[in-house]
Amino acid sequence: MLKQLICVAALLIFITSCTENKPKQDDEKNKEFKEEKPKSDTVNASLSFPAEKHFKNIRQLTFAANNAEGYFSFDDKSFSFQSDNPTWANGCDQIYNYPLTGEPKDKTFKPDMISTGQGRTTCAFFLPGDTEILYASTHEGSKDCLKPAQRKDHKYVWPLYDTYDIYVANLKGKIRRKLTNQKGYDAEATVSPKGDKIVFTSMRSGDPELWLMNLDGTGLKQLTHELGYDGGGSFSPDGKEIVFRASRPKTKEDVAEYKSLLKEGLVMPIKLELFTIKADGSGLKQITTLGKANWAPCFHPSGKKIIFASNHAGKKGFNFNLYLINTDGTGLEKVSDDKVFDAFPMFSHKGDKLIFCSNRHNGGGHDTNLFIADWVE
């Protein structure tokens, strides 16, 4: 959902074939990213702001177009992400693998594409062992880059393309298996840190709900059942809970609008709050009541806090920053301080690093890039 989510900002101000370029594997070069001496343009003092006390040694990883949803491999030595960089592929969101080992990367680095290069893709996540990755794609429905049509009423909407299905591919881009196989939106999949379950959003029950399945696509179980869009699920470190974003239309007018848009395969994500639910489907709990759009949640390594993106404090709809909140809804803390757009945070499995996307350091343009920082408590 890179394009859909970043377009919250885009709509309000300016608003989810690739060459081989693999890192050397010898012992001298196979060092963790934090130990490398960065090339120019990868580290810059202006990348962080004084109020960002949790960030140290922040580094810029991408340098053009829209890049987001960076998700660490289980060994934290690489991450998957999606980008619409037209110099890499067709200008539509595709999935890439970015190694955090080997020689430092600069603006000339071109990561390996691990999606098909066709259709639109979203939400890539490593499977245990780090030799395979799952992601959602529309390529079997259409090889074209699907784009939402402009609306005469100017409502901001996300399309839930019914040709999205979830696939597993190796790191060379060869699809190994298809995990979902019925008409209707199946996307936004993430893998439990325990390596045993997948949570994803599906329209198979008639409403976009959270579903759970095994790594091979079996054992389907519906987790949420309330009217409204449920998506962006992410597991706690122990795999026992899931945090997600959700809309909950309540008034007669909001319900009617929600159902009308859903018939068109659309949702309007301007009102989203965070919820948690146990992986067995029990214990549904609302975490935020902030108003506006709260999304892209990820558990803190302690399992006791959640980091997420929100525009609730912004004077304009595009002002998104990262926040921490306790799992009981208390202790809200602002984490990032960019004046435009920070989103899609994810902690490494070790809990020592954070990847996120931001409009910072883009020369006043529209590029959204990925950044990595050492996390400081």
Domain with 227, as residue range(s), is 2-375
The string of pLDDT tens digits covering residues 221-269 is 999 999 999 999 999 999 999 999 999 999 999 999 999 999 999 999 9
The mean pLDDT of 57-66, rounded to a whole number, is: 96
Q: Would you place residue 315 in the very low, low, confident or very high pLDDT band (cuts 50, 70, 90)?
A: confident
**What's the total number of domains in the chain?**
1
Q: Would you place residue 90 in the very low, low, confident or very high pLDDT band (cuts 50, 70, 90)?
A: confident
Asked if the model's pLDDT at residue 32 lies above 90, the reply is: no
Q: Would you place residue 45 in the very low, low, confident or very high pLDDT band (cuts 50, 70, 90)?
A: low
Q: Would you place residue 1 in the very low, low, confident or very high pLDDT band (cuts 50, 70, 90)?
A: low
The string of pLDDT tens digits covering residues 92-123 is 999 999 999 988 789 999 999 999 999 999 99
SS3 for the chain, per residue? CHHHHHHHHHHHCCCCCCCCCCCCCCCCCCCCHHHCCCCCCCECHHHCCCCCCCEEEEEECCCCCEEEEEEECCCCCEEEEEECCCCCCCCCCEEEEEECCCCCCCCCCCCEECCCCCCCEEEEEECCCCCEEEEEECCCCCCCCCCCCCCCCCCCCEECCCCCEEEEEECCCCEEEECCCCCCCEEEEEECCCCCEEEEEECCCCCCEEEEEECCCCCCEECCCCCCCEEEEEECCCCCEEEEEECCCCCHHHHHHHHHHHHCCEECCCCEEEEEEECCCCCCEECCCCCCEEEEEEECCCCCEEEEEECCCCCCCCCEEEEEEECCCCCCEECCCCCCEEEEEEECCCCCEEEEEECCCCCCCCCEEEEEEEECC
Asked if the model's pLDDT at residue 24 lies above 90, the reply is: no
The mean pLDDT of 4-21, rounded to a whole number, is: 37
The string of pLDDT tens digits covering residues 120-163 is 999 999 999 999 999 999 999 999 999 888 888 988 899 999 99
pLDDT at 44: 59
Asked if the model's pLDDT at residue 20 lies above 90, the reply is: no
Asked if the model's pLDDT at residue 39 lies above 70, the reply is: no
Q: What is the CATH number of the domain that holds 263?
A: 2.120.10.30
